[in-house]
Structure 1
C-alpha cells in the first residue's frame, strides 16, 4: 500500500502547493524561461501520468492479483519515482535550479529500473489482464517518455538560471544542442523499449510542445529544431516497426534489448 500512498501524494501535491502560494517555478509560460520549454498546454500530461500511476498502484496492490513477486519488484523503483515527483515540487520552491535537476535524475533512474524489470518479464506480463497491461505500460511509457525529454529542458533552465546565455548565438546553439540530446535520448530509448507506444506518444507530445513553445517565443530556428527532432523520432519509430520491433505495447525484441 506504500506505493498507493505515494501515488496519492503525487496527485495531491501540485494543487496543495499552489493553494499555499507556491508553484511560481512550475507556472506555465512564465517570463524568462528558455524558448524550448514546451507550451503551457503540454504540461497537462502530468495529470494523465499521475492518474495512471494511481490506477496502477491500486491494481498492483490487490493481493489476489497475478505475479505478486513481479509486481513488488516493479513497485520498488516506482516508489523512488513517485516520491521523487513530490520532492521535485518541494525542490522547485526551495532551490529551483540544480536541485530540481538532481531530483529528476533520480526519478529517471527509477523509471529506467522499473521499465527494465518490465521488459525482462514481458512474457509473464502478457498473461495479465488487458487492463493490467495497459496500466503498467501506460504508466511506464508516459512517465519515461515525458521525463526523458523534460530532463533536458530542466537542464536548460538550470543552466540559464546559473548564468548561461539565453539569447544570441550562444543561447541559440545551446538550446539546439539540448534538442539534439533529447532527440538522441528518445531514439535510443525507443529502440530499448521496442517502440513502446505510450513512450512514443509522450515524446511526440513533449517535442511538439517544445516546437510550439519556441514558435510562441518568436524563435523560428528553435521551433524548426524541435520539429526536426519530432520528425526524426517518428521516422525512427516507423523504421523500427518495419523491422519487426513493434507489437501492441512493447516489441518482440524487448527481452533481447533489455538483457543486452
Structure 2
C-alpha cells in the first residue's frame, strides 16, 4: 500500500498519545508530586476500599501494559507497518485509549470519581472496538502477535476488571447502600457478569490468551484481597477464583479447538499467530 500523509499523522498521534499516557502514569504513582492513585480521592480506589478491589500487587500489570504500548508505538513506525491495513485500523483507536488512560488518572487525582467512571467506560469501549478490529485478522508474525494483539489483549483484560472496581468505589463514595441487598450478593453478581463477558471474549477472539490471562490476573488478586485483607469476604473470594478459572479455561479450550481445527484443515490462515 502507498504511504500517505494520513499515515504519518496517525503514527505521530500514537507517539504523542504515548508520551501523554506515560506522563499521566508517572503522575498517578506520585513521581511529579501527585497523589498516588491508591491514596487519591480519599482512598476510594485503595486495595481495601470495596469487595471488588484487587490486592495491591495486581496493579503491577500496568508495567507490562505500558511496556507493550511503547513496543507497539515503535512497531507502528517500522517501514513495513506504516501503510499496513491492520495498523491503519488500530492506530487512532490505540491513541485514543492512551489519552483516555491519562484522563482517567487525572480525574481520580482531582477526586472526580463519577467522571473517572465515565472515562474508564469510554476506555473500555475503545479497547473493545480495538479488539473487534484486530480479531478480524491474524497477526502476520509472532512479533506482531505479541506486540499488537498481546499488548491490547492485556490492556482490555485488565480494564475489564478495573472498571468494576472503579464503579464500586464511586458508588460507595456516593453513599450507595445497595438497596438493602447484602454487599456479597452484589459482588458475586458482578463477578458472574465479568466471567460471562470474559468467556464471550474468549469465544469471539478465538481463545486469545493475553486477554484471558489479564482478566484472570485481576480476578485472582480480588480473591487474594478478599481472603487476606479487609474487607474480607469468603463468597467474593470464591466467586472471583471460580470466575478466573472459567475465563482462563474457556480461552484455553477455544484456542485448543481452533488449533486442532486448523491442523486438520491443513493450516492456512488458522495457522497464523494470535495472542
Query: Residue 237 of structure 2 is aligned with which of 217, 223, 233?
Result: 223
Mapped to 2, the partners of 1:47 and 1:28 lie a distance apart of 22
* Aligned match of 1:25: 40
* Aligned match of 2:253: 239
Deviation >4 Å, runs of 4+: 26-29, 251-254
Provide structure 2 residue ranges, at least 5 long, that are not aligned to the other structure: 1-11, 263-268
Mapped to 1, the partners of 2:238 and 2:65 lie a distance apart of 28
Mapped to 1, the partners of 2:145 and 2:48 lie a distance apart of 41
Residues 1:170 and 2:219 are matched in the alignment: no
Mapped to 2, the partners of 1:253 and 1:200 lie a distance apart of 20
Q: How does 1:1-260 map to 2 (within 5 A)?
A: 1-17=12-28, 18=30, 19-23=32-36, 24-25=39-40, 30=46, 33-65=49-81, 67-122=83-138, 125-126=139-140, 129-165=141-177, 170-216=182-228, 217=230, 218-244=232-258, 252=270
The more displaced of 77-86 and 18-27 is 18-27
Q: TM-score, normalising length from structure 1?
A: 0.84
* Aligned match of 2:4: none
The more displaced of 232-241 and 221-230 is 232-241
Mapped to 2, the partners of 1:39 and 1:32 lie a distance apart of 8
**Residues 187 and 233, structure 1, Cα contact 8 Å, conserved in 2:** yes
Cα gap change, 1:83 to 1:192, in 2 (>3 Å): same
The more displaced of 20-29 and 75-84 is 20-29
**Residues 45 and 165, structure 2, Cα contact 8 Å, conserved in 1:** no
Q: Deviations over 1:22-57 (max 9, x none)?
A: 232387983761022111000010111011011101
**Residues 36 and 211, structure 1, Cα contact 8 Å, conserved in 2:** no
CA RMSD of aligned residues (A): 2.7
Give the Å deviation of 1:152.
Answer: 1.7
Count residues with an aligned counterpart: 246
Mapped to 2, the partners of 1:133 and 1:32 lie a distance apart of 36
Provide structure 1 residue ranges, at least 5 long, that are not aligned to the other structure: 255-260
**Residues 146 and 203, structure 1, Cα contact 8 Å, conserved in 2:** yes
Mapped to 2, the partners of 1:81 and 1:190 lie a distance apart of 21
SS in 2 for 1:38: coil
